[in-house]
Structures are given as C-alpha cells and as structure tokens.
Structure 1
C-alpha cells in the first residue's frame, strides 16, 4: 500500500477504485484479500483513514464464517419484550452478533498492504463515467484517478423521495458496572415497554459483552429526530425500567445514529461502470434500518466476481417483493393502521424466530414470506396495500408533486460521553 499526496495533480490509473473507506469498503478489501485477488490495481479514495472504534454493527447470521474471530459478542438466545409478554427466543441455527469497527478496519488495513492498494487522502467530488473508464475528481475539480470500475459507498439520499420517509434514530450508552448485573448469554433484541411516540415506534435493547459491560440503547422508528436531552432522558428511563442502579454504572462511551427507513429507491447502478454499495446502494432494509448483513453479502459477491475476472456488480440487496412488503409495512405504521409493538410481537409469536430474522435479511422463500404476511392483522395490511398501490399510480402520473427529501444522510458512531462520531454504514 502507498499513500498518494493529495496535491499531486496527475490522476492515478487503476482497475478498481473504492470511494469511501468505511464499513462497506473495508469489507470489500478484506474479501478481495481472502479470495486471493492478484494483478488488480486497486485504489481507495477517502480523506480519513478509518481506525479504532467509531461505530458498532449488530446483525444475525450463520456462525462459522469469516467474521467469527472479530466479534465482540454473540448470542443464540434473545428476548423480545412487549407490555404484555416477554419472549425468550432460540435463534438456532442463527446467532445474533455484535461487531465493533476496530477489528474490521484493522483487517482492511492488512488487506490493503497485501493487495498493494493506493490510498488517496482526499474527498471525492464529481464522477464521470464514459462507459469505458470512470474519472473521479476532487471537490475542487482536480482529477484524482481513472478506473475501469468504481465502487461508491458514500451515503446519499434516495434517487427520489419515498411515499413514507421515516428514520431509525438512536442513542446508546456503553455501561460498565461495578458488579455483575448483565446476563452475557442473552441479549434483548427489542423491548417495547418504553413510552411510545405519538407517531412511530420506540424500543430499548441490551447487548451484553460480559456480566459487567453492555451496550444499552434507545431507538425510535419515526419521522423526526429528538434533542440530545430527550435521548438521554429516554435512555435513563429505560435504564431504570431494567432495574439498573445508576450509582453503580459508568457511561464509558456514547453511541448515536440516524439511518433512513424509506421506500424511496436507491439506485445501485447509476452508470455503466459505477456501482454503489452500503446505504447508497440499497443495503439498508427499510423496515428495520439494518445494513451490515447486506454489506457483507455485497462484499463477498464483489470479491468473487473480481477473482473470476467478472464485473464487480453484486446482486440486489433484497428481493423486489421484500422492498414492496417493507413499503406496505412502513405505510401501515406511519398511518397508524397498526400498533408497532403489537405488529412486531405478532411476527415473533406466530413464526420461528429464525424465519423472522431471515425475512428481515431478505433470505426467505416465497412460501415463508406468505407465512410472515399471514401473521399480521389482515384488514389494516390490506388497507395499507391498497393505499400504497394508489400512491404508486399517483406518483407515475404526477411525480413532481412529491416534496423534496429533507432527511439527513445516514450516520452512526460512538465515542466518549459527550462526543459524537459519525459514519456512513451500520
């Protein structure tokens, strides 16, 4: 790996360029090294060289993969709690896992050295694709590089506004206790006993690393952000609901995030030789805000393609029918046709936990999708489906009537108490 001076005016010629050096790019670099890619000139364009713990990813999947040795913790049993029930769920054969960014960045740095990556420490601006090569310019117009293929993981809003535009926004405290208070064998996936917003859904969750150290987080699915004081008040209320003694706890880090939940389309292939990854490429699941599993799949597909001499174009992050189901679910929640805690509670009550999680990952068959649909209340979901279909017809006839997208780009991060660090992927 070599570092290019950001003031050098001559563009670099490479085969594959990655714009953005966060989670999506790091996973791609690691996968390229794992698949023993050779004789491919690779460059990374990012003004920041990511290191250390600036975010946390949580995801589910099969054990025994390339991420196992990097995990901070994993659980085969989780809880989903609503005001009327506490569910202890066995995720077998899946597991729920937590991964902090430091090990991913370290693995990517090692992959860069192994692959001989050129790193350009500048912010990318305009991208010009002539169908044969892609020219990447700096924000001041200087040419940075030419590439046969460009993988762009910079966050961006959807191509056009969605019919429903919500956010998953959250704040979490990394808590250290002076005595054992957490159960490291069981995570709390969703706890809906939190006060529910007038428009939206809220829940808390607990991801214990050991008996004295855990991430405790408050999350909302809703259209609008809260103030910092409101997030802290909600977290303090959830801590007290869990029966944790504030006097015995120390907040060692604070995690904050905003992730889009929208049925607006994200264009994964904006031009012949530009491929978008991460949230900008549609990797964020609209119904949950989860992104990491799709990013991991995209990285594996890209690496396999490059190793085989094929274009580095991954499959769509989720099946089309799942994007439609997410749009209907978001409309039902946004319009108040369904109650959020009851909606999610019924999914887990009427399906094996592994089916629900695989559905949320876009990894279920049509028959399983129908089973998930049957577990929801029929009348409100039919109403939402009809309303969604009518809105699609209106959009085709008068697309300019929709308002402009005003939601901030997706960010997540963690840092010391009082410090917010931001990134582009979850």
Structure 2
C-alpha cells in the first residue's frame, strides 16, 4: 500500500506511474512544474512531486537582480532601485536601473506553489525522503527510503544533489555559507530605498567575507554574514560576525532578532551530471549554481524557461546550458585565483565595482555579457594572477 504521507489533493485514482516526476520540491522543481502546469500542452499529463520536507518554514531568502517583471514577481517581498558597495578604501551607492534588486521569502514561495499544486487534479504531492533516482530503457524511476518505487513514463526531473563533488587537483570546491538575522528596532533606523549588496570591510581572516543588508522597512532589515571559503565556521562565529558588524558598521546597539536563517551553497568548477535518458538533473544538482558567486535563483528561472521551450520545440528537456563555454572558464579561473591566495575575494570584487558600472557587472554575473565588455572587466583586475590561472586552465 502507498505511504500514509501521500497527500492526494484531488479525486483521481492513485497510481505508482506518472508522466512526469519531480524529485525535490525546492526552487528548481517548483519553478519548472508551475510553468508546465500553466502550459496548454501539459494539462492532460500526470505529475508527482516528492520531498522529505513539508516546506512550512521560512528556511531561506532568495535575493537577485532582474530587469522588468519576472515570472514570480507577484511573490517579491521587497524591491530596491539603489545599492551600496563597500570595500577597503572604496564606498559607492549605485543606481541599478534598468535592474532592480528583489527579495522573495522562502515561505511565500513555498506557500504559493504548494497551494497552486493542491488545486490541480493531475498533481500528486508526496512528503517522503527519496533514496535514489535512476533511468532504465523505458522508464525513469524514483525510490523512497521505505522501498516504494514510482515510475516516470516521460521524464523525471531531479533537484536532489545525490552526487557531491570532492576537491582534488582539478576540482576547486568552495562553500558559500551564511547566517542571517532579521533585526528590528523600535525607532526608524534603516533606509528602505537602498540596500547593501556587499560590504567587505569585515575581517577577512576566515576567507572572503562580506555582509549584505536588505532593509525591509524603516525599522526592520535582513543582515546576512557571508563567507566564501573551503570550510565552515563554528556556529558561534557567525553570531559573533553579525553582532560585530551591526555594532561597528551599522552603529546599531538597540535591536531584537525576529528571524534567523542559515545556508550553505557549493561554489565549484565540478561539472554536475546532467542526467541521461529520461532522467534530467535541475537546480544545483544540474549545475545551475554559478560557480564563482553562488547565485542560483535566476539561473533556475532561465533554465526552467528553456526546458519548456525545448520540450515544445524539440520534444526533449535538454536546452543549452547557461554555464557553458567561456563563462564556465571565467568561473574556473576566478576560483583558481582565490584558491592560490594571490588575491582575496575582497580585493577582486572591490576592483570590479570601483572600475565598472554595476550594470556591466550584473550582465557578466548573469552570463549575459558580450565579449568587448568582458575584456573591460578582465582589464580592471590585476593581470598576472589571472593570466597564470588562465594558462593553467
């Protein structure tokens, strides 16, 4: 018999076989599935989405820049038109137009998506841990920890990173790890019209370290202590970093912490497997996390849109990668430079923001730039460390 944790939110007969299966119910699976359900060509198909968590907590916040209105714009909790960058000897507030910096809270995203799915008669939601996924000659299969097996007759989209990269002579593996506090004051303190994208004035002893601050209103802000390094810190070190930054740079003494979040994102030149046959890896498991920055949400949106286009035009969900070619090369070179320690991440990003318009940097980080401006960006950095790393690659 099927597991008791199967939630059938519609009156159709339960089956172990579906047209499409989604392993994981994070940003990648939900972004793609919502798009498919809103597309006429998929409305007569059956879907299963499986995750071990019920997505009932605000476990993360997605922040990203974007031109115009995005697919999930109705869920954006806060937008900013201006942003600050701080580095050693350099501080500047940038006007980001035509970009806006946007924030989506995890709980808002999960609630919207899951409520939408519950209303669809052709979608089954299952809250169980997934043991493995694999492809056979005619079907893709998902196996739960309890042994139950489900089959996808068309495609199985997997966002669970079963394969974990390990550092070696060819593979760089950094971690972007962060802890955030939502802090609240009794009196107006923050400027809700501008955020801080990166503040590198912190002690860099643990690796590339910066703080970003996202004012939600005049009395409340998300303050996130972030590091790019190869190892995590002791739990108390993140709290110490946040306390020190709020005291020394925000000059704020009287506040209360109303929410907390913690996360780890891989930054690696390892090429995650794309999947074979009817198994398609998406999200971080499919290489949609940018190796040099950790940005993921917007690459997931681009990838989801491209998968839909590919299925409609060519009958398969394998579009060209947004991380291919020269952008993957740039990411590898940057990770090599940071790994060798010739330049710190703080020095690199400060040089970039001091010598380039922010729009050019955004296009570059979006893998959406063109070669002449890439050469301008590269030319704004110290030549020899990057040249040595590039020749090594």
TM-score, length basis structure 1: 0.84
Residue 62 of structure 1 deviates from its aligned partner by: 1.0
* 2:263 is aligned with 1:263: no
Distance 1:306 1:118, change over 3 A: farther
Residue 11 of structure 1 deviates from its aligned partner by: 5.8
Q: 1:28-177 maps to which residues of 2 (within 5 A)?
A: 28-36=32-40, 37-112=42-117, 113-114=119-120, 116-158=122-164, 161=167, 163-177=171-185
What secondary structure does 1:317 align onto? coil
Give the structure 1 partner of residue 348 of structure 2. 343
Distance 1:11 1:317, change over 3 A: farther
Distance 1:175 1:111, change over 3 A: same
Whole-angstrom distance in 1 between the partners of 2:151 and 2:137: 15
Give the structure 1 partner of residue 202 of structure 2. 194
Question: Unmatched 5+ residue regions in structure 2?
Answer: 8-13
TM-score, length basis structure 2: 0.91
8 Å Cα contact 2:6-2:126 kept in structure 1: no
Q: 1:8-27 maps to which residues of 2 (within 5 A)?
A: 12-27=16-31
Give the structure 2 partner of residue 302 of structure 1. 307
Residue 66 of structure 1 deviates from its aligned partner by: 2.4
Whole-angstrom distance in 2 between the partners of 1:251 and 1:318: 38
Residue 319 of structure 1 deviates from its aligned partner by: 2.7
Give the structure 1 partner of residue 286 of structure 2. 281
What secondary structure does 1:204 align onto? strand
Residue 68 of structure 1 deviates from its aligned partner by: 2.0
Q: Which of the residues 172, 194, 219 maps onto 2:226?
A: 219
Distance 1:78 1:355, change over 3 A: same
Distance 1:140 1:52, change over 3 A: closer
Give the structure 2 partner of residue 210 of structure 1. 217
Distance 1:355 1:157, change over 3 A: farther
8 Å Cα contact 2:6-2:127 kept in structure 1: no
Matched pairs, number: 382
Residue 220 of structure 1 deviates from its aligned partner by: 0.8
Whole-angstrom distance in 2 between the partners of 1:316 and 1:4: 37
What secondary structure does 1:246 align onto? coil
Whole-angstrom distance in 2 between the partners of 1:231 and 1:282: 27
Whole-angstrom distance in 2 between the partners of 1:386 and 1:243: 42
Q: Which of the residues 233, 237, 243 maps onto 1:230?
A: 237
Residue 5 of structure 1 deviates from its aligned partner by: 4.1
8 Å Cα contact 2:22-2:48 kept in structure 1: yes
1:95-147 deviations in whole A, cap 9, x for unaligned? 11111012221231243223620123322223231232112222243323343
Residue 77 of structure 1 deviates from its aligned partner by: 1.1
What secondary structure does 2:212 align onto? strand
More deviation, 287-296/306-315: 306-315
Give the structure 2 partner of residue 422 of structure 1. none
8 Å Cα contact 2:139-2:151 kept in structure 1: no
What secondary structure does 1:114 align onto? coil
1:257-292 deviations in whole A, cap 9, x for unaligned? 111111111112x21111111111111111111110
What secondary structure does 2:243 align onto? helix
Whole-angstrom distance in 2 between the partners of 1:170 and 1:7: 34
Residue 346 of structure 1 deviates from its aligned partner by: 1.4
1:352-393 deviations in whole A, cap 9, x for unaligned? 211111211211122332222122111111122233x2xxxx
Give the structure 2 partner of residue 380 of structure 1. 385
Question: Unmatched 5+ residue regions in structure 1?
Answer: 390-426
Distance 1:252 1:186, change over 3 A: same
8 Å Cα contact 1:11-1:145 kept in structure 2: no
Whole-angstrom distance in 1 between the partners of 2:94 and 2:87: 13
RMSD: 2.2
